[in-house]
Amino acid sequence: MTPKRRADVERNERALLDAAARVFATSGVNATVREVAAAAGVGMGTLYRHFPTRADLMVAVYRHQIDACAEAGPALLAAAESPFAALLDWVHLFVDFLATKHGVATVWKGDAAGYTALHQLFLDRLVPVLAELLDAATKSGEVVADIRPYELIRAVGDLVAWTVQDPGYDVRRIVTLLVTGLRQPQPTRVQSSADER
């Protein structure tokens, strides 16, 4: 049983989460923690007491939205005209989720310091959903290529990770290309041409 928290703690944590969501939406997730603390009207010490690292703050801000993305998977599978259609729809939903969070995609991969927790949260929540969709599309014979859910979500996330407002590049087309590529068997890498050189 958690001890009862003081009113000011609850109030400040709420203020921080609200401010972070606003600041991340306008300035991107690389906004400084100073900007977040100032927007919340609290001091730096308070921010770090509630969220010991930037990553903790990001996880807290985005947790519910990642959950929503996860829950959309089974719903799409139940409603779509085919498992493959559900798979494609869900992948695009995932793309939309990443792309519309200003800069959140850049923390999709946890190499940068502090982003590992958010990346882990993505995987823990979304890989099982994708597994279910891939499994259904494989059983229906629509997906024949051998690919694991982790590989696919990793690839899609990586493709979206750098999305900026670039009129010359529509990442959704590329994602569709990748996913529809799953419908044909994959070649072994062409080695004979290398041997003949």
Provide the 10 A C-beta neighbour count for residue 62.
22
Give the helix/strand (H/E) hosting 153: helix 149-161
78 vs 113 by CB, closer to DNA? 113
In angstroms, give the least distance from the CB of 63 to its own copies: 22
> 107-139 in b/e burial notation, b at 16+ Cβ within 10 A?
bbbbeeeebebbbebbbeebbebbbbbbebbbe
26 vs 82 by CB, closer to DNA? 26
Nearest of 150, 23, 32, 158 to residue 98 by alpha carbon: 158
- In whole angstroms, give the CA distance from residue 87 to residue 73: 8
Task: Report how many residues bind its own copies under the rule CB under 8 A.
Answer: 47
10 vs 151 by CB, closer to DNA? 10
Q: Which positions from 161 to 190 touch its own copies by CB under 8 A, shown as an x/- string? A: xx-x---xxxxxxx-xxx-xxxxx-xx-xx
Residue 141: contacted member of DNA, its own copies, none (CB under 5 to 8 Å, by partner type):
none
Does residue 88 touch its own copies according to CB under 8 A? Answer: yes
Does residue 112 touch DNA according to CB under 7 A? Answer: no
Residue type at 103 in one-letter notation: G
Does residue 116 touch its own copies according to CB under 8 A? Answer: no
Angle (CA) 125 20 26, round 5°:
100
Give the binding site for its own copies (CB under 8 A): 79-82, 85-86, 88-89, 92, 106, 109, 111, 145, 147, 150-151, 154-155, 158-159, 161-162, 164, 168-174, 176-178, 180-184, 186-187, 189-190, 192-194, 196-197
